[in-house]
Amino acid sequence: MKNHIRLGGILILTMTLTLCKDDRSVNIFTVSQDIEFGIALDEEIMANPADYPVLPKAQYPVPYQHLERIRDNLLASGELKYADRFPWEVKIINDSILNAFAAPGGYMYFYSGLIKFLENESQFAGVMAHEMAHADRRHSTDNLTKQYGISIMVGMILGDNPGQLAEIAAGMASGLSSLAFSRQNEYEADEYAVRYMKKTEYQPCALGDFFSLLEAQVGSTTHPPVFLSTHPSPEDRLDKINEHCAGTTGQGFESRYLEFKNSLPAY
């Protein structure tokens, strides 16, 4: 019986790998495992307030109302594959640095420094859409597949090494280093972010404005853009974004974004 199950596993795996070849990417994790990784990482972050001072939602409902409105607008675009499947939890880390990051399964973290740095809601929606794309396109588990190698994964899936998933989750949570993305991931996250924004009232080209503002901060000692170290910026990024968003309009929602910024406490 056990051999039958194993054989079935190999067959499914082979089929998955074959089917994914068109996409030129292989991801042998399940969607549920993406969510499990996200939960593990979120627990790690919440247990470390010294490094990640997450703003408590119960105490600061107003900034969270703004944050969740922006998230819901993007999810309503109808362009995300896992809009209904992932938890899409959004959190604010109350620190002045310019950064945001996404864990697998749609857990997303935005530094208040970045929120305060931007000029309108479309720019911020651009950042969030970019993070959502990393999660929805499953870039982290895609990269883990490459990093750990297919052979180890086969053993894991077939149950030869059940502890390995927990090990990988722990490694991911402790370093956040595996959340660094490739240039190809970045291109794709930009492309999909614009795709989502096109189906909202936001300005899709504001994603480009966000990167221009960040680039202008490179070399700054007071506000270095940490975002660019976890999201490597290809040189032709702006050109590509402008190609994707050409001919689009939309609104910036400056006044309600100002309310969002003003609802944040001091660091």
DSSP 54: B
Neighbouring C-beta atoms of residue 176, cutoff 10 Å: 17
Residue among 228, 16, 240 nearest 141 (CA): 16
Indicate left, alpha or beta for 181 from its phi (over 0: left) and psi (-120 to 50: alpha): beta
Q: Between residues 61 and 175, which has the closer beta carbon with respect to Zn ion?
A: 175
Q: Between residues 9 and 224, which has the closer beta carbon with respect to Zn ion?
A: 224
Contact between residue 205 and residue 245 where contact means Cβ atoms under 8 Å apart:
yes
Backbone φ and ψ for 74, nearest 5 degrees, come out as -70, -40
Q: Between residues 138 and 231, which has the closer beta carbon with respect to Zn ion?
A: 231
Residue 4 Cβ vs Zn ion, minimum distance, rounded to whole Å: 42
Q: Between residues 79 and 186, which has the closer beta carbon with respect to Zn ion?
A: 186
Q: Which residues bind Zn ion (CB under 5 A)?
A: 181, 186, 189, 231
Count Cβ atoms within 10 A of the Cβ of residue 204 and give its class: 0-12 exposed, 13-18 middle, 19 or more buried.
buried
Residue 141 Cβ vs Zn ion, minimum distance, rounded to whole Å: 15
Residue 209 Cβ vs Zn ion, minimum distance, rounded to whole Å: 16
Residue 52 Cβ vs Zn ion, minimum distance, rounded to whole Å: 19
Cα–Cα dist 44/26, whole Å:
27
Residue 186 Cβ vs Zn ion, minimum distance, rounded to whole Å: 5
Q: Between residues 110 and 253, which has the closer beta carbon with respect to Zn ion?
A: 110
**CB-based closest residue to Zn ion:** 231
Residue among 101, 142, 49 nearest 227 (CA): 101
